[in-house]
Amino acid sequence: MGPLNGVRVVEFAGIGPGPMAAMLLADLGADVIRLDRPATADAVRAGAPRPHMASGRPILGVDLKTEEGVATARRLVTAADVLLEGFRPGAMERLGLGPDDCLGLNPRLVYARMTGWGQEGPLAHRAGHDMNYISLNGTLHSIGRRGEAPVPPVNLLGDFGGGTMFVVTGILSALVERQSSGRGQVVDAAMVDGSAFLASMIYEDRQRGSWTDERGTNYLDTGAPWYDVYECADGGYVSVGCIEPQFYAAFLRGIGLAGAELPDQWDRDRWPELRERFAEVLRTRTRDEWADLLGDTEACVQPILSMPEAADHPHVKARGSVIRKGDHLYPGPAPRFSRTPGAATRDPDYPEPSLEDALKAWGVEVE
């Protein structure tokens, strides 16, 4: 049933980090009801594909522009432990569903707000996406190769790292605090805040003088030749991450350069020379040959796999990190628990909760 069994969450449908957070809470056993547009709910009920990351919870069609829809939402809020919304600041207030309204109905409610810019500040009401948020807090500037443009890290850093993981952390923290106070509170999670926090180590290294603002010149941003990706003989790639001296020594042994005349590992001026030596050697074998040769060593080298390949890797398969079921590929539940394991709501065989049963369990009637 998961460690969050018994926690009731009402999710106001959105995109990106909000649905991911609701899916994670559902994986962990929370009882989530998603409020979405009536047309979307009707389409899903008729068999249409669910919206992205909307697995594991029933979808209730609610028109929040009507008094009836708002009244339904209020009834759910009264019965919920958590409210999760991702609208621009002020939108829920205009609907009569803002924090003051909802905490007035349910003082124990954890009211979680997931936005890009936060609830206040000069850009609070401005549109944006993942890449915009990590642009403004210095994070994106640090990602990329020397002399080249910054490289957006898909939407993993802003949306899901700085967004989902911080709003879930806020929700769980507020639920723990409620046990002693008996009161709910508002969680203001902003992607611009969370992704800046994720860069804490880089900010600290910069303060200490061990990190420069020039991309691709540092030890974790492809500047160091022993922390980078390399092309192999077949066009595949391996990742090399041998930072510590013992792992670096194992890497040199593994690729046949132990005892060779090489620059010192930390001689930044000669990193280009060292990189060329590594690249030359790693181009002599295929990706999988290097994986077989170095897989049982401490060289910190791994093949870079596609998503379909990842599902078949022995370690990933053993952990259930990525699962293949028929033509479905999906990540397994995380983290893991010894007594109350969660479930992957993305599993095509996962029994989608009944909306009628959920509403009955919550004691909410929908006219």
| CB count in 10 Å sphere of residue 18 | 27
The pLDDT value given to residue 285: 98
Q: Which of 63, 129, 288, 313 is catalytic?
A: 129
The pLDDT value given to residue 30: 97
Under 8 Å CB-to-CB from 136, ≥6 apart: which residues? 123, 192
Q: What is the DSSP letter of 157?
A: I
Q: Of 309, 187, 188, nearest to 237 (Cα)?
A: 309
CB 227 within 8 A of CB 239: no
State the average pLDDT for the chain: 96
CB 33 within 8 A of CB 58: yes
Split at pLDDT 50, 70, 90, the class of 1 is: confident
Phi first, then psi: give them for residue 72, nearest 5 degrees: -65, -45
- H-assigned helices in 140-190: 165-181
| CB count in 10 Å sphere of residue 256 | 11
The pLDDT value given to residue 148: 97
Q: Mind listing the pLDDT tens digit for each residue in 47-91?
A: 999 999 999 999 999 999 999 999 999 999 999 999 999 999 999
Split at pLDDT 50, 70, 90, the class of 339 is: very high
Structural domains in the chain, sorted by start: 8-198+337-362 (3.40.50.10540), 227-314 (3.30.1540.10)
Centroid of chain to Cα 298: 28
The pLDDT value given to residue 208: 96
CB 227 within 8 A of CB 243: yes
Please state the length of the chain. Answer: 367
Mean pLDDT of 222-243: 98
Q: Mind listing the pLDDT tens digit for each residue in 139-175?
A: 999 999 999 999 999 999 999 999 999 999 999 999 9
Split at pLDDT 50, 70, 90, the class of 352 is: confident
Per the annotation, the verdict on 129 as an active-site residue is yes
Split at pLDDT 50, 70, 90, the class of 4 is: very high
Q: Mind listing the pLDDT tens digit for each residue in 265-315?
A: 999 999 999 999 999 999 999 999 999 999 899 999 999 999 999 999 999
Query: ω into residue 335 within 30 of 0, thus cis?
Result: yes
Give percent of the chain with pLDDT exceeding 90.
Answer: 96
The pLDDT value given to residue 366: 86
Judge whether residue 24 has pLDDT over 90: yes
Q: Which of 130, 159, 188, 221 is catalytic?
A: 159
Judge whether residue 367 has pLDDT over 80: no
